[in-house]
Amino acid sequence: MSTRDLDIVGAGEENEFASYRPVPFERAWWLRGVHAQTVGGRQLRRYDREPLRSERIELPDGDFVDLDEGPESLPEDAPVVLALHGLEGCSGSNYMSTVARELAAVGIRTLRLNFRGCSGEMNRLARFYHAGDTGDVAFVANLLWERHASRPMGLVGFSLGGNVLLKYLGEQGDEARQRFRSAAAVSVPFDLVEGTRKLERGVMGRLYTLYFIRKLRRKMRAKREMLRNLCDVDAALAAWTIRAYDEAATAQLHDFESAWHYYESSSAKHLMHRIRTLTLVIHAMDDPFLPSTAVPVEAVRENPWLIDAITPNGGHVGFVTGSPFRPVFWAEREVARFMAATLKAR
């Protein structure tokens, strides 16, 4: 893990310096295995206890996304972070709740974006979201820039949302740095081809797949009639792997030649070298959703805008440390430390 000091240049500012050193992750002695970290982390994180405040954002194509905030209330002039969730997550996912609490503790507002169809209400159009779809993030980012240009802004993405985040930053290059002073990506499936292959192997891979596929098929059933003539609805509903579902639905609905074409075209690994926004990359080499050989360690270390917080262990959005009675979620806390340093929060 890198422990270098960083010279941070914020949007519209010159030679601003902030010192940030990632705190080394020490996994909890009582959650030592990769699956214990992954599953335990999901079970231990707390959800929001109060309702979020929601705003509907109308998109140029006639669809919508919902942007949520709270339950904490922070000053209007506080720094702002836009948070992106993972596959079949939402603004209320417990890792989104955890990072919002950690950011609020250092005086940063968190706006949580629900991808299309993920806010509890199905989106209008004959499509969903996917791991390479950066259009909605770009639209919302521009909207937030118009509203909050006078205050520092950042981005954070988890899992699939982390892939979307890194791809967006790579596509936008210097322009993204004009809007966002910093970003953080947690447990990213950098290589969607290899990640999908890994989830198709082993008992735990199949169990993780089952968790996601049930949610994906539920959405397909909800839009069955709308999508009947646009993709292979029956094959999608019969799918038992994410690749089979993407072959039948995602690829066809979003103009990819095949599931493999979708994965290869959407993988963030291809754009890591083009990122020009200071970005913290948190990832565990034992992540059960991606082989260690597919983690782009060299790409992270060769790009001076990327901060290496790659750890030997921690699972997928796990990173649990502390005691059984007071667990600490290192990734979210580290994101908050990083954002506090770069966004000049209290």
Domain boundaries, position 254: 192-266
Q: Which of 204, 234, 266 corresponds to the end of one domain?
A: 266
Burial degree of 285 (CB within 10 A; 0-12, 13-18, 19+): middle
Angle at 259 between CA 254 and CA 261, to 5 degrees: 80
**Residue where a domain terminates, one of 233, 266, 299:** 266
One domain, residues 217 and 100: no
93 and 126 in a single domain? The answer is yes
Residuewise pLDDT in 10s, the chain (346 residues): 443 444 443 333 333 435 788 999 999 999 999 999 999 999 999 999 999 999 999 999 999 999 999 998 899 899 999 999 999 999 999 999 999 999 999 999 999 999 999 999 999 999 999 999 999 999 999 999 999 988 999 999 999 999 999 999 999 999 999 999 999 999 999 999 999 999 999 999 999 999 999 999 999 999 999 999 999 999 999 999 999 999 999 999 999 999 999 999 999 999 999 999 999 999 999 999 999 999 999 999 999 999 999 999 999 999 999 999 999 999 999 999 999 999 985 4
Domain end point (choices 245, 266, 287): 266
CA distances, 308 to each of 44, 142, 204, 281 (Å): 26, 28, 28, 6
Q: Is 72 in the same domain as 61?
A: yes
**153-158 and 53-58 as β-strands: parallel, antiparallel, unpaired?**
unpaired
Domain count, the chain: 2
CATH number for 289: 3.40.50.1820
Extract the tokens encoding 267: 């993988």
Could you give the CA distance from residue 346 to residue 341 in angstroms, rounded to a whole number?
A: 9
DSSP assigned state of 47: P
